A = this chain, B = another copy of it.
């Protein structure tokens, strides 16, 4: 499964989120929109125009503001880094598969967990070693 973000427009997305259209924000957002899977901050840096290299701090700050405004989703890995993907209406929440060897994270169909597990049990596309399901937010005690 590849991401289906072709419909997302960088300029409109920024405007809709109330963010000004700076060169750097546009560049980062377009890289994420064009990606065929979740990217790390380093991946994004590598894909920026070499003639106008964006500082890595700027990339982290842009990712942070995009995440805050729910333009993108942040996907933690057990390799000590986060990956990012579009969170637009064309790309609903879905499971991912992370290959420990090539370190590429691929998107899976937006099935329920049980459906996904059944599907995988019947396929031999991947060897599944770990399953992580994590919800995050604020617990009742912290909301009071």
Chain A interface residues toward B at CB < 8 A: 73-78, 80, 82, 93-102, 104-106, 108, 112-114, 116, 120, 124-143
Interchain CA distance A134-B96 in the complex, whole Å: 5
Contact B133 A128 (CB under 8 A): no
- CB-CB under 8 A from A100, the residues of chain B are 136-138
Contact A114 B114 (CB under 8 A): yes
- CB-CB under 8 A from A114, the residues of chain B are 112-114
Contacts A74-B78, A76-B78, A78-B76; is A99 near B129 (CB within 8 Å)? no
Interchain CA distance A135-B104 in the complex, whole Å: 12
Interchain CA distance A114-B93 in the complex, whole Å: 12
Contact A101 B139 (CB under 8 A): yes
Contact A97 B129 (CB under 8 A): no
